[in-house]
Amino acid sequence: MSDVDEASGTSQPEIKTILVVEDDADVGEFFVLALKQETSYQSLLVPNGFEALKLANTIKPDLFVLDYQLPSMNGIELYDHLHAMQGLEDVPALFMSANLPTGELRKRRVYYIKKPFELEELLQTIEDLLAE
C-alpha cells in the first residue's frame, strides 16, 4: 500500500514499522539508532511485553523484534499474545537473545538470532523478513 502525493501525483512508499521489545535500555537504544541510521524503517522501542501489547493495539507493526528474557512475560508468551490479536496474526517476528528456546521457536516457525551477533547479520535478517 502506498500513499499518493496529490501535489506531484507520485507515490510515496509506505514506511515500514518495527516494534522492538527489549528491556535493556542500552541495547534497545543502540538497536533503534542503528535501524534509523542504516535503514528507512521506523522503529519503536518498548521495555516489556505489557507496553508492547498496549502499543500493538494502536499501530500495526510490520515486524516484531523481541528479546526472549523480558520482565513479567517472556518473549514467547508475548509473541503468542501478539499473534492472537486481530490483524497481527501474520506479522513476522525475530527473536534476539543469548538463551533461546530454539525448539519452541521452530514450532512457531519464528526467526531468531543469538546474542552476541554482528549488526550486519541482524540488519540483513530484518531486510529479508520485511521483503517477504
Domains in the chain: ranges and CATH = 17-131 (3.40.50.2300)
Q: Which of left, alpha, beta for 68 (phi over 0: left; psi -120 to 50: alpha)?
A: alpha
pLDDT at position 9, please? Answer: 53
SS3 content of the chain, % helix, strand, coil (to 5): 40, 25, 40
d(CA 104, CA 28): 24
* Residue 4 pLDDT class (50, 70, 90 cuts): very low
Closest CA to 90 of 127, 66, 61: 61
Does residue 115 or residue 12 have the better pLDDT?
115
Give, for 118, the enclosing helix (H) or strand (E). Answer: none
Does residue 19 or residue 108 have the better pLDDT?
19
Per residue in 37-86, pLDDT (tens digit) is 999 999 999 999 999 999 998 999 999 999 999 998 999 999 999 999 99
pLDDT at position 11, please? Answer: 59
pLDDT at position 2, please? Answer: 42
pLDDT at position 116, please? Answer: 86
d(CA 76, CA 107): 11
Per residue in 90-131, pLDDT (tens digit) is 999 999 988 888 888 888 889 999 888 899 999 999 999 999
Q: Is the pLDDT of residue 3 over 50?
A: no
Sheet holding 17-21, edge to edge: 42-46, 17-21, 63-67, 93-97, 111-114
pLDDT at position 25, please? Answer: 95
d(CA 95, CA 80): 13
**Is the separation of the CB atoms in 32 and 17 below 8 Å?**
no
